Homo-oligomer: A and B are copies of this chain.
Amino acid sequence: MVEKKRGTRGRRPKKTGEAGGDELALTRARVVSTAIEILDRAGPAGLTMRGLAEALGSGVMSLYWHVKSKEDVLDLALDTVLEYRAPAGGSEQDWRGQVTSMLEDWRAIMLRHPWSATLLPSRTLGPNTLVRLESLSQGLSKAGLSDADINAAIWSLWNYVMGATVTRASFGPPDADRAASLQRLAELGARFPAIERSRLLLDDDWDGTFKKGLGFLLDGLAAQH
């Protein structure tokens, strides 16, 4: 009853040059990057410190030398994924182009790592998030908005992307039938005539919808001249 699963990954002496990648030194960077791999594959619920250690070929508690806690791992993974390298010469670009390309890059990254959209709301803004806010801020300063409007504009765009990504992630490709079953519900009750008519829940041109909505918002900003 107290027997332990030893199997293939019991302790063994370290051999240099061993195949498999297991022999690499444990580093903070390596911990974070395999955490990201696991998150991509299994989502936040699939990440455990025990599983992470196993994937790294180390004991569980070894992780705690490089990392403060599981929360810490999540914070680091999130900030790593959100990294943004502003394209060179961005400051000469027109504001709409600069803002749009940064936001689309942001959205694309979050969709590539869907867990990030789920996690971002509940944790601190990291340095890389600040880089994005700064780029947004600079872009909008060229839009001719009043000082009073500019912060509201930044947050509007931020919120829009955040919401779009989070919504998109919650539908997700794995369950196309979820939307279908909701649509059926909407039809059945006949309590939702407008949704039914526009087939809102079946529309899956996410990219187009994102672009169009962003256009609405930018139009609204431009209109404040």
One complex includes copies of this chain to the number of 2
Interface size counted on chain A using CB atoms at 8 A: 61
Q: In the complex, what's the smallest C-beta–C-beta distance from A214 to chain B, in angstroms?
A: 8
Q: Given A130-B182, A141-B194, verify A159-B220 contact (CB < 8 Å).
A: no
Q: Which of A127, A134, A149, A159 has the most CB of B within 10 A?
A: A159
A123 contacts partner chain B, Cβ-Cβ < 8 Å: yes
A121 contacts partner chain B, Cβ-Cβ < 8 Å: yes
Q: In the complex, what's the smallest C-beta–C-beta distance from A191 to chain B, in angstroms?
A: 7
Q: In the complex, what's the smallest C-beta–C-beta distance from A134 to chain B, in angstroms?
A: 4
Q: Contacts of A209 on B, CB cut-off 8 Å?
A: 151-152, 155-156
Task: Give 10 new A-B contacts, CB below 8 A, not counting A118-B121, A120-B170, A216-B220.
Answer: A130-B182, A130-B185, A137-B195, A151-B198, A151-B209, A152-B209, A154-B200, A159-B163, A163-B166, A220-B223
| A residues neighboring B (CB under 8 Å) | 117-118, 120-125, 127, 130-131, 133-134, 137-138, 141, 147, 149-156, 158-164, 166-167, 169-170, 178, 182, 185-186, 191-195, 198, 200, 203, 208-209, 212-213, 215-221, 223-224
